[in-house]
Each structure stands twice: as C-alpha cells, then as structure tokens.
C-alpha cells in the first residue's frame, strides 16, 4: 500500500491475545497519554530504552517525542481500541541522521508498557515503521541494544529484515536492512 501522508497514518490490528489495537502516527495531543504510558513503564524498561536511569519526561522531551517532523523523525503509537481515551500501549520511532554522513540510516527506538509486552506490540510498531521508512527512502535502521535485552534482540531477529549485529562492551549495535525493493 502506498503511504500518502505519514502524519495521518492509521491501521488496525489484533495482539496475540486478540486485543484490538490501532497503530497510528503520534500527535501533539498524545502528551498526556505518553506521560501516563511512561508512568506504567518499569524502571528496568525505561533503562533498557534510554540506556540510562530515567525517572520522568521533561516538557521539552515530551514536545520532542510527540511533535516529530514526519520527514526525518517519524513516530507511531499503539493504542488500545477498546479503551475509552485510547490508552497508549507502546511507541516506536525512527530518527534519520544526517543523510550525507550515514547514507540514510535512521536510529530506531521502541518502547512497550510492561503489562503489554510479549503480545506483539513491538513487532507491529517495527513492521509499520519499517514500511514507512522503506517508502520514504530510508536505507536501514540502527539501534543500540544492551546485550542482556533478550526481548529486544529476539524482536529484531524475527522482524523479517536483514539483521547485522556487533557487540562492544555489552552493547549490541544492530543494523536492520530491507534493501532497495
Ligand atoms: C523490546 C520491546 C520493545 C519488545 O516489545 P514487545 O511488544 O514485548 O515485543 P513483541 O511481543 O512484538 O516481540 C517480542 C517477542 O515476540 C517474539 N516475536 C516477535 N515477532 C516474532 C515473529 N514474527 N515470529 C516469532 N517470534 C516473534 C520475539 O522473539 C519475542 O519473544 P519473547 O516474547 O519471548 O520476548 C519491549 O520489551 C520493551 O519496551 N522493552 C523496554 C524498552 C526496550 O528495551 N527497547 C528496545 C530499544 S530498541
């Protein structure tokens, strides 16, 4: 399917337990949902995402995370469809580095609230982000993942994309490629 406008991206899916979710572009009015989602993230999950202890999100961080430009910075959320107020279950984003320096590689980040991990939210976010990135001319995703982060590494291994990985000092540098097709 040709993606016309990433900013209004919306699709529907079901998690492994049958729960219906919407995968859509993040919006400025998601700040409250993102903050509430961060509050439902364990210290360990926050650490695995940010690679440093993280207790909260500042107003500037919230603005950055919910107001991407949808050109070089694209973010999607997974929200529960059955829930009034559309509770946020996960968020995924990619940020393209300077194309001259990296040949259009983008940094990937995924976060799923603890109570909804292992249900396929992360895989859904990655699949849709990769399709958007591919159509927008991004060549690959890159991610820094702690070697102890088995869930993230399994997710990347099963993504259907070509995975190259190298490990230094307990951090896996993962490269995901989909080629030019
Ligand atoms: C890493 C993270 C995003 C994964 O999200 P998730 O929604 O739990 O992931 P999924 O349920 O889609 O996939 C994870 C599991 O499904 C499996 N899986 C995913 N797609 C699969 C496929 N197509 N076929 C078989 N197995 C698959 C993975 O092997 C993995 O196994 P596990 O359940 O034993 O862990 C989540 O654990 C998280 O937010 N962690 C904290 C933050 C973090 O580590 N971010 C990573 C930085 S990139």
Show the low-confidence residues of the chain (pLDDT under 50): none
- The minimum-distance atom of ligand 1 relative to the CA of 145 is 47
In angstroms, rounded to a whole number, what is the distance separating the alpha carbons of residues 109 and 86? 22
pLDDT value of residue 174: 97
The helix (H) or strand (E) run that includes residue 3 is none
Q: How much is the pLDDT for 22?
A: 96
| Mutational test site, ligand 1, from 19, 90, 118, max ligand atoms within 8 Å of CB | 118
The pLDDT score that the predictor gives to residue 103 is 73
Distance CA 8, CA 95 (A): 18
Angle of the 59-66 helix axis to the 31-39 helix axis, nearest 10? 110
**What is the pLDDT at residue 100?**
64
CATH superfamily of the 6-138 domain: Gcn5-related N-acetyltransferase (GNAT) (3.40.630.30)
Find the 55 Cα to ligand 1 centroid distance in Å. Answer: 23
Q: Residues 171, 144: contact at Cβ < 8 Å?
A: yes
Does ligand 1 lie within 6 Å of residue 158's CB atom? yes
Cβ of 76 less than 6 Å from ligand 1 = no
**What is the distance between the alpha carbons of residues 77 and 127, in angstroms, rounded to a whole number?**
13
CB of 127 closer than 6 A to ligand 1? no
Tokens 């040709």 -> residue: 2
Dihedral sign for Cα 21, 78, 38, 28, please: negative
> What are the structure tokens assigned to 79, written together?
């929200």
* pLDDT in the model for residue 102: 63
Q: In the structure encoding, which two tokens stand for residue 131, read together?
A: 């399709």
Going from N- to C-terminal start, the domains of the chain cover 6-138
Q: From atom 9 of ligand 1, which residue's Cα is the shortest distance away?
A: 122
What's residue 179's pLDDT? Answer: 64
- pTM here is 0.94
pLDDT value of position 145 = 97
Alpha carbon 98 to its chain centroid, in Å, reads 20
pLDDT at 180: 56
Nearest-CA neighbor of 40 among 69, 75, 83, 6?
83
């Amino acid at each position: 399917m040709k993606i016309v406008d990433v900013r209004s991206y919306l699709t529907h899916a079901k998690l492994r337990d049958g729960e219906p979710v919407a995968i859509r572009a993040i919006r400025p009015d998601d700040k409250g949902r993102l903050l509430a989602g961060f509050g439902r993230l364990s210290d360990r999950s926050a650490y695995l995402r940010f690679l440093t202890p993280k207790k909260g999100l500042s107003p500037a961080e919230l603005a950055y995370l919910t107001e991407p430009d949808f050109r070089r910075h694209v973010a999607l959320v997974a929200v529960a469809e059955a829930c009034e107020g559309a509770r946020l279950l996960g968020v995924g984003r990619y940020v393209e580095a300077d194309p001259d320096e990296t040949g259009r590689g983008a940094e990937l980040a995924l976060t799923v609230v603890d109570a909804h991990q292992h249900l396929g939210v992360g895989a859904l976010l990655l699949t849709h982000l990769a399709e958007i990135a591919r159509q927008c001319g991004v060549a690959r995703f890159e991610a820094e993942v702690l070697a102890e982060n088995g869930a993230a590494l399994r997710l990347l291994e099963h993504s259907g994309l070509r995975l190259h990985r190298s490990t230094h000092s307990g951090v896996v540098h993962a490269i995901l490629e989909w080629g030019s097709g």
